Structure formats: structure tokens, C-alpha cells
Amino acid sequence: MPRPPRCRLVRRTPLANRFGPYDRQPAGEVRLPLEGLEALRLVELKGFDQQAAAESMGVSRQTLGRILAAARQAVAQALVEGLVLVVEGGAYQIAPGPAPGQGRGRRRQRRRLRHP
């Protein structure tokens, strides 16, 4: 019996869940799990190396590589075959706190000078 998958940390949910062709009827659908979208966002959009992206998602580098390979295949299949890309499901959990680049960040603390 295989081990249940560990939840992957995802910083945000997608703004849109379905992507597809406008000029013809789609031939079907292909599913992209939410952790696949997060892996693509971190590596391809944000420019993280695989180790940093894996740490951000709470998985090993090898697991991130498998997630990325499956995500790239789903996106390529949707583009080449004119399928609808549906972003849904997967083994994920929304990470606590604001997404990187969102929110206020750290506040600078003032140092008080002590006079002798």
C-alpha cells in the first residue's frame, strides 16, 4: 500500500480555474493540480531554483521535480491539443500568512541611543 502524499504548501489559490481555446470547441479537459500550478509559479515565474521552490512548498527537491514534470506535461498537452486546462485538486494546504510579495513585510525597528 503506497504512502499517502504529504500536503504541499501553496501560497495562494489561482485567480482563474479554467483556461482554454476561444476560437473553437475544446476537445476535452486536462487537470492541473494546485500544487503543480504553485511549482510552475515559483520556478518559471518567480525564478526560484528547484531547491528553494521545494523548501517553500515543504517537499523534497525530487518531489518538486516530479510535480514540475507533471505540471509541464499537463500545460503542454492543453496547448498542443486544444484542451481546457482545469486547475483543481491535489494534496495541498494553504500556507499561513500573506503570500510572498503580498502584505506589509517586516517593520524596521528603531534603535535608541543610550546616553551614558
HEC letters along the chain: CCCCCCCEEECCCCCCCEECCCCCCCCCEEEECHHHHHHHHHHHHCCCCHHHHHHHHCCCHHHHHHHHHHHHHHHHHHHHHCCEEEECCCCEEECCCCCCCCCCCCCCCCCCCCCC
pLDDT at 105: 44
Specify which of 25-29, 81-85, 87-91 reaches the highest per-range mean pLDDT. Answer: 81-85
Work out how many domains the chain is built from and give that number: 1
Give a yes or no: residue 113 inside a domain: no
pTM for this prediction: 0.75
- For residue 110, being part of any structural domain is answered with no
Q: For residue range 25-57, what is the model confidence (pLDDT) as tens digits?
A: 888 999 999 999 999 999 999 999 999 999 999
Which CATH number does the domain housing residue 71 bear? 1.10.10
